[in-house]
Structure 1
């Protein structure tokens, strides 16, 4: 199928209208209609029903939707691989879940440019399901996600055993208050465990869909919430945030997911960099924990052994 047809199909789905799709694609509405007729002839099924509200998918269109996305994604991947930048021998594409990219992704990019400069890098940040779909389709070489679903043909490797810890801008907080608590969406597993530990905080007035967003909020407005230990460690050491004593910790591991049939040379370089950068994060967490422990130990009186 012509990639232009698949792009046209997706534009109609995204905009909900043949007219708006034509505006997005910079073609006439007649051209959009002609492309849809061509697709329907090739597939042997009607894809859309048009009404006053625009265009809606028919059952055949719903079934075709994931395949259309894969067609476009694979084409983009092929285009990137063919158009390898001058001086590079291959392109390596890595995607990271939104709440996991910082600081792992910038560290990995720096490591790769130093240790594997012959590889051109393509990075993306997206939702976990989309990342796994792109790995399965060959659009991405590796995806970094939390709690990935097992899929045939994909391999999963544990990178970081990250923890979520409760911190506050108020050093006196011993028990979190709903009024100044930020409930961060760290996924269904965290939400279930968090709800059991803090049922009164489930309906806190402030809810953040992303960890970085919630962290920026409490650093500016004050408050309490759960965040990745590696991310907040510098703020704790600087005295901007404080660990809430006795608050439970929750695991938030990061996994590397890649295709079992992926090209071994570039993949091994990328995985080696991820392992090294992840190991650096573990050392940072250990150092932060040691600093925090030392801070709690009573100081010896001057002049005494």
Structure 2
């Protein structure tokens, strides 16, 4: 079972056709068919149902999707680690939630690379669900995020205090007709829904992090955003806080794998906490 075969399987699952997978992995359709056939033989399971419309994952195929993704990512990371120049004695995989990536976090990263010249960095962004999963599966070492999953084998500290507030790019008195649900984690979504007693009418759910504010401004809609991420928009008047709406505590955390060198982690955490990430 090689990396090319796994990538072909994932491409077919994503595109829904063997011909689409062939274009994705730069192979002929017959090669894709043969790779999938060999993979099914190795696993002793049928992975796809095929018809004139394309291909669909079987129950076995759906079960194999997660480990196939994990295997491909693990091999990619391993290849990255092996290719590091000899002057790097340590590598660190760092991730942060979309809503936290701005000029302040970028400036922190630049300083951290200078402070730790022996460290090679692999840096990513994502939604909290993905970051939590990547931490649990070992693809990330340290992450900054709003909605962590607390685990015994991971350390965590509050990075800064924040809160979710209801803001609008339109008339605050009309916010109920213009409300859009913005994803900030399952538990927070349930708490907001129970407190507001409102069903969004827009037929739209946003999971765009800080960019969700751009949508609220452009389309005169209302939704909950971290105060930190909309502070400048509140100052310039492009967004307004909806009066009398509830606010929800929403601290940001830094989480890390306890297997890391404690002294090194302490330095990274301290530098993050002093980086002014909650400054307006």
TM-score (norm 2): 0.82
Partner of 1:257: 255
Measure, in 1, the Cα distance between the counterparts of 2:257 and 2:24: 34
Is residue 142 of structure 2 the alignment partner of residue 142 of structure 1? yes
Q: CA RMSD in A?
A: 3.1
Q: 1:185-242 CA deviation, whole Å, 9 max, x = no partner?
A: 3333333333344335733687644343332234455565432222222334445545
Measure, in 2, the Cα distance between the counterparts of 1:150 and 1:67: 23
Q: CA deviation at 1:168?
A: 4.9
Q: Larger Cα Rg: Structure 1 or Structure 2?
A: 1
Q: 1:235-282 CA deviation, whole Å, 9 max, x = no partner?
A: 3444554544443221222223333323556544433332323xx235
Measure, in 1, the Cα distance between the counterparts of 2:72 and 2:78: 10
Measure, in 2, the Cα distance between the counterparts of 1:232 and 1:92: 30
SS of residue matched to 1:227: strand
* Distance change (3 Å), C-alpha of 1:32 and 1:270: farther
Measure, in 2, the Cα distance between the counterparts of 1:231 and 1:149: 22
Measure, in 2, the Cα distance between the counterparts of 1:112 and 1:269: 9
Task: Answer yes or no: is the 8 Å Cα contact 1:132–1:257 preserved in 2.
Answer: no
Q: How many residues align?
A: 280
Partner of 2:63: 63
Is residue 223 of structure 2 the alignment partner of residue 234 of structure 1? no
Measure, in 2, the Cα distance between the counterparts of 1:239 and 1:57: 49
Is residue 261 of structure 2 the alignment partner of residue 271 of structure 1? no
Task: Answer yes or no: is the 8 Å Cα contact 1:183–1:208 preserved in 2.
Answer: yes
Task: Answer yes or no: is the 8 Å Cα contact 1:92–1:121 preserved in 2.
Answer: yes
Q: CA deviation at 1:23?
A: 1.5
Measure, in 2, the Cα distance between the counterparts of 1:47 and 1:257: 36
Partner of 1:95: 95
Is residue 117 of structure 2 the alignment partner of residue 117 of structure 1? yes
Structure 1, unpaired ranges of 5+: 289-305
Structure 2, unpaired ranges of 5+: none
Q: 1:125-167 CA deviation, whole Å, 9 max, x = no partner?
A: 2233332332233222223333233456444433232112234
Partner of 2:41: 41
Partner of 1:198: 196
Measure, in 1, the Cα distance between the counterparts of 2:180 and 2:55: 40
TM-score (norm 1): 0.76
